[in-house]
Structure 1
């Protein structure tokens, strides 16, 4: 059954900023805001949070409603630091070098055949010292088996992160709630850093 993205965006309105992004920004400490990519930005909670923290953000989403939703409540200065591109994961352009790639609950919705190329593009966009924060879905997830989605067990997630300094890898495998109702979640919450350039 395909996702009802407009209903999902409506259900997400007003939620708090996701933990992996808040924790990533905390771990960066006093490092100045830089350039970020938000993949699958949806209704824009995290994009707006980054913009208000001084970041320049390139936000991607496949849904035509997303740009209007993302822009809600932003002032002129914040809007000047926002670029939005409507694109599916399968059609992403070459990503520019950035200091942070955030992909909150988004990458699992990439077609499995396209995922290796998308992930390679994310890795290539991480400048020395840059951060990745986001989620992967595991094989016990209720949605596992959907042909249009990708899933990874823990060993596969660790392989994807090979060469990055993993700051946090938390596995959730439990019943819970989604925006659309009860669901068994199997999620890997990831915060990882590309090693800084040698001094």
Structure 2
């Protein structure tokens, strides 16, 4: 994947709806600590910072840190921590009120995914939220050895014990920032019980 070209194509877009909806479902709960996994060019990280969150953002791309910081005010920069790491090499995640992973988790090596998912679950404080996507077996990229894919039963198993607020399966032809493709995506909003 040509990540710099993808980031250029993503520039200027709005925050993804799964994150916006998760924040709406939190209601009046004050902003807290968030983790953005695979933050890319930083649209969602900046959205969270502008809403008053403290954000720990991770991405493997060495250019992502500069992209994430672009346009932030000093107070927002003061609430941002950035870590350059592949999913397979992430440090232990700290406790968080929100973990967001938009279209990112499928890029974790399948052998490392169970450990990553366990770390995400362990990072969710009581009452904390998870929002993000997983890819299904009908996706155009299914079969790539370096990526992970899950059918609906597997997704539901991964979410066992969480309160599922939204689980939308999207299995259709469509567009991506890089052109036409067939999407098979599970859009997830879930909450760790209090």
| TM-score (normalizing by structure 2) | 1.00
**After the TM superposition, which residues 143-162 of structure 1 pair with which residues of structure 2 at under 5 Å, given as runs?**
143-162=141-160
* Structure 1 stretches lacking a partner, 5+ long: none
Partner Cα separation in structure 1 for residue 83 and residue 171 of structure 2 = 33
The structural deviation recorded for 1:129 is 0.1
Partner Cα separation in structure 2 for residue 15 and residue 139 of structure 1 = 27
SS of the aligned residue for 1:108 comes to helix
SS of the aligned residue for 2:132 comes to strand
SS of the aligned residue for 2:127 comes to strand
Hey, what does 1:114 align to over in structure 2?
112
SS of the aligned residue for 1:140 comes to coil
**After the TM superposition, which residues 14-163 of structure 1 pair with which residues of structure 2 at under 5 Å, given as runs?**
14-163=12-161
Aligned match for 2:11, one of 7, 13, 22: 13
Partner Cα separation in structure 1 for residue 93 and residue 15 of structure 2 = 24
**After the TM superposition, which residues 171-186 of structure 1 pair with which residues of structure 2 at under 5 Å, given as runs?**
171-186=169-184
Partner Cα separation in structure 2 for residue 16 and residue 57 of structure 1 = 18
SS of the aligned residue for 2:4 comes to helix
* Structure 2 stretches lacking a partner, 5+ long: none
Moved segments of 4+, more than 6 Å:
none
User: Alignment RMSD, CA only?
Assistant: 0.3
The structural deviation recorded for 1:28 is 0.4
| TM-score (normalizing by structure 1) | 0.97
Aligned length: 194
